[in-house]
Amino acid sequence: KRILLIQALLVSLLLFSCKKPTPKDLAKENLIPQPDSLAATDSSFDWTAKTKIYVQEKQEGSQQVANYLAKLIAPSTGFTPEVKRVTNPADKKGIALILSDDTISGDEAYTLKITEKRVVLEAHQPAGLFRGVQTIRQLLPAKIELDSLQTGPWELASGIIKDSPNYQYRGAMLDVARHFFGVEDVKRFIDLIAAYKMNVLHLHLTDDQGWRIEIKSWPNLTTHGGSTQVGGEKGGFYTQNQYSEIVNYAQERFITVIPEIDMPGHTNAALASYACLNANNKVTELYTGTKVGFSTLDTDKEITYKFIDDVIGELAALTPGEYIHIGGDESNATKKKDYISFVNRVQKIVSRHKKKMIGWADVAAAELEENSLAQFWQTKPDNAIKAVNQNVKIIMSPANRAYLDMQYDSICPLGLHWAGYVDVKKAYGWSIENFAKGISKENIVGIEAPLWGETIETMDDIEYLVFPRLPGYAELGWSKNTNKSWEEYKIRLGKQKERFGYMNINYYQSPLIPWA
Ligand code: TNX
């Protein structure tokens, strides 16, 4: 009897050890931003070397996203999944990317259904498929992010995710004027924001310290005005071809580039390049300090508007997106009445080039057209409320919550603190629509986190200020309010540690986060 018992025990032990490992649980996965709804079904899909990606015949848009997904997983898995066009992708065993009308509506919405046999991603638009692919990416093991060959298994927990963004505008700004960053850095920045489903890259292309975009009709802007940067080192600029390369790279990730030419203030680089733009017809010296509010274009001269027309014209031709940002902040050296007539006139120039205008909320002193946007940046809402009163919609970037260049704390080696310190909790713990009285959800297009460049010189510096705050801004813009709590979020963020590491992100290891 005893022998029988021992035998039975041995057999069951053997059986137990052969049993498949317990499947992943979709409900325990750490997604940022948090999706609308998620239901786990207690099994998993195993992505192997044989797995193919299927798209519907004649759906060009899904083919493009499928190629992106294949490329994304290739280095770490060693797989080179074939992308196949078929009639019914959802019937195949494998990954299906489908554009269809019977799923949640909205350009960026998607449904993701994972079973043991297949992964079916459906969306109305390619942008929705792309956002869904970022979810697939976060569901795969973190080592998917590595560039070197890793061993599997590459399992995805099964279940259904339905997801769509709360706000249509979710962006980050990079100031390449104070310190210049080359095309490769900007591409990495784009990849980092794309991983969190952001859809706007605002490039602050000009300021007192540098002009960074080639304008063929005014070549000195870059040859002279782009030659230096804060601290006096060599600057740089994008040729129009390089700029288009950035725009296309962003577009492939369903990110719109919004170019900013800051005016009438913040224009010393232009004033140093062309005498005619100055009231006294003399060029200024190049500027490599970090003061603001001392420069202005001459708002009385006709040549100023010819200049702006040329610049906006060339830029509009390089810009597939519908917006051009004209800055308009801190024009302390411009008389108020001149500022107002200037903004009114520039707004017309932007429309003439078939674009809509964005300005920092200071521009609400002028008469804004209803399709213009105002960007809230100050800590007081007065300017933005003036814009709301003109039926203009707001991009929320309050400095004391959303500025990526604010220091985390008093010992932070990079950044400024004129709007206070913004630790990771403060960055996440607010709500876009409740931030300012008088500016509610229907007045707001979304959120943007600006990174000003006075103190940053390298990609590592960028990453240190951007991470780990950026995923929080992405979630504030994407996820519905009902999902948000700091106590829950900080745990999800802490579990990104491995992924941040494999993505080679130089992030700030905030003590507020339980890094796991
Ligand atoms: C204010 S925010 C500025 C920028 C500075 C930034 C530094 C805004 C519209 N203007 O010129 O770089 O503060 O945080």
Q: What is the pLDDT of residues 470-481, one digit of tens each?
A: 999 999 999 997
Distance CA 280, CA 275 (A): 8
Q: What is the pLDDT of residue 20?
A: 58
**Kind and range of the H or E element at 324?**
strand 323-327
Find the CATH number of the domain harbouring 267.
3.20.20.80
285 and 149 share one domain: no
Residue of 329, 375, 403, 412 with the most ligand 1 atoms within 8 Å of its CB, for mutation: 329
Quick: pLDDT tens for 23-32: 789 999 999 9
Q: Answer yes or no: do 227 and 363 share one domain.
A: yes
Flag whether 435 is in a domain.
yes
Q: From atom 5 of ligand 1, which residue's Cα is the shortest distance away?
A: 452
Does the structure show a pLDDT above 80 at 189?
yes
pTM: 0.95
CA of 416 to the centre of ligand 1 (A): 10
Positive or negative torsion for Cα 162, 167, 172, 177 = positive
Evaluate whether residue 402 is within a structural domain.
Answer: yes
- Tell me: do 253 and 388 sit in the same domain: yes
Residue with the nearest Cα to atom 8 of ligand 1? 329
Atom of ligand 1 nearest to the CA of 266: 11
Using most ligand atoms within 8 A of CB, pick from 376, 414, 452, 465 the residue to mutate for ligand 1. 452
Same domain, residue pair 145 and 232: no
Nearest to 122 by CA among 169, 81, 163: 163
Write b or e for each residue in 250-288: b if 16 or more Cβ atoms lie within 10 A of its Cβ, otherwise e.
beebbbbbbbbbbbbbbbbbbbbbbeebbeeeebbebbb
Nearest CA to ligand 1 atom 9: 329
CB-side neighbour CA atoms (13 Å) of 54:
18
Of the listed 330, 454, 463, 475, which one is catalytic?
330
d(CA 428, CA 476): 7
- Rounded to whole angstroms, the Cα distance separating 159 from 25 reads 9
Does residue 67 lie within any of the structural domains?
A: yes
Instruction: Establish whether the linkage from the previous residue to 320 is cis, with ω within 30° of 0.
Output: no
Is the pLDDT assigned to residue 6 strictly greater than 80?
no
Q: Is the pLDDT of residue 19 over 60?
A: no
Q: Of the residues 263, 292, 397, which should be mutated to test ligand 1's pocket, given the most ligand atoms within 8 Å of the CB?
A: 292
Q: Which of 143, 163, 183 is the last residue of a domain?
A: 163
**CATH value at residue 29:** 3.30.379.10
φ/ψ of 305, rounded to 5, equals -80, -30
Which residue owns the Cα nearest ligand 1 atom 7?
A: 452
Nearest CA to ligand 1 atom 13: 452
Q: Is residue 2 a part of any domain in this protein?
A: no
Is residue 11 assigned to a domain?
Answer: no
CB neighbours of 3 closer than 8 A, spacing ≥ 6? none
Are residue 150 and residue 262 in the same domain, yes or no?
Answer: no
Amino acid symbol at 409: D
- Model confidence pLDDT, tens digit, residues 148-188: 999 999 999 999 999 999 999 999 999 999 999 999 999 99
Residue 125 φ then ψ, to 5°: -130, 155
Indicate whether 292 and 391 sit together in one domain: yes
- Do 360 and 394 lie in one domain? The reply is yes
What would the mean pLDDT of 448-452 be, rounded to a whole number? Answer: 98
Instruction: Spell out which residues line ligand 1, taking CB within 6 angstroms.
Output: 292, 329-330, 360, 377, 403, 405, 416, 452, 454
Active site residue 498: no
pLDDT in tens, 368-416: 999 999 999 998 999 999 999 999 999 999 999 999 999 999 999 999 9
* Residue 452 CA, ligand 1 centroid: distance in Å: 7
pLDDT of residue 103: 85
Question: Is the predicted pLDDT of residue 13 greater than 90, yes or no?
Answer: no
User: Before 33, cis peptide (omega within 30)?
Assistant: yes
Task: Give residue 245 CA to ligand 1 midpoint distance, Å.
Answer: 27
pLDDT at 18 over 60: no
Instruction: Based on the fold, state whether residues 31 and 179 are members of the same structural domain.
Output: no
- Mean of the pLDDT values across residues 357-374? 98
Report the alpha-carbon distance of residue 427 to residue 159 in Å, rounded.
31
CA distances from 169 to 190, 444, 477 (A): 15, 9, 8
DSSP of 397-418: --HHHH-TTB-SSTT-SS-B-T
488 contacts 30 by C-beta, under 8 angstroms: no
Both tokens of 289, joined, read 């300090």
Provide the strand spans (E) within 90-166: 94-99, 110-114, 118-123, 154-163
Which residue in this structure is represented by tokens 């339905």?
162
Encoding tokens for residue 308?
């702006």
Residue nearest to atom 6 of ligand 1 (CA): 452
Whether residue 477 lies inside any domain: the answer is yes
For residues 469 and 478, what is the distance between their CA atoms, to the nearest angstrom? 15
Can you tell me which atom of ligand 1 is nearest the CA of 397?
2
Q: Is 35 left (phi over 0), alpha (psi -120 to 50) or beta?
A: beta
Return the ∠ at Cα 409 (arms to 405 and 410), rounded to 5°: 105
Domain-ending residue, one of 108, 138, 163: 163
- Closest ligand 1 atom to 178 CA: 12
- Write the single-letter amino acid at 17: S
What is the percent of the chain where pLDDT is above 70?
96
Residue 209 Cα to ligand 1 midpoint, Å, equals 13
Same structural domain for residues 180 and 195? yes
Q: Is the domain of 494 the same as that of 382?
A: yes
116 has a pLDDT exceeding 80: yes
Q: What is the mean pLDDT of residues 120-137?
A: 98
**Interatomic CA distance for residues 341 and 457, integer angstroms:** 37
Residue 13 domain-assigned?
no
C-alpha span between 158 and 252 (Å, rounded): 28
Q: Is residue 514 part of a domain?
A: no
- Ligand 1 atom nearest 292 alpha carbon: 11
pLDDT of residue 102: 86
Cα-to-centroid distance, 355 and ligand 1 (Å): 24
Instruction: Please tell me the predicted confidence (pLDDT) of residue 484.
Output: 75
Q: Could you give the 3-state DSSP secondary structure of residue 461?
A: helix
Structural domain span for residue 119: 18-163
Domain end: 133, 163, 193, which one?
Answer: 163
- 3-state SS assignment for residue 254: coil
Element (H, E) at 303: helix 302-317
Atom of ligand 1 nearest to the CA of 207: 11
Dist. CA 210–CA 227, nearest whole Å: 7
Please tell me the total count of domains within the chain. 2
Answer yes or no: do 142 and 22 share one domain.
yes
> If you measure from the C-alpha of residue 393 to the centroid of ligand 1, how many angstroms do you get, rounded to a whole number?
21
Nearest ligand 1 atom, CA 360 = 9
- Nearest-CA residue for atom 11 of ligand 1: 292
What is the Å distance from ligand 1's center to 330 Cα? Answer: 8
DSSP structure class, residue 218: S
Residue nearest to atom 12 of ligand 1 (CA): 452
pLDDT for 100 beyond 60: yes
Considering the domain architecture, whether residues 110 and 203 belong to the same structural domain is answered as no
User: Ligand 1 centroid to 451 CA: how many Å?
Assistant: 9
C-alpha neighbours within 13 Å on the C-beta side of residue 70: 22
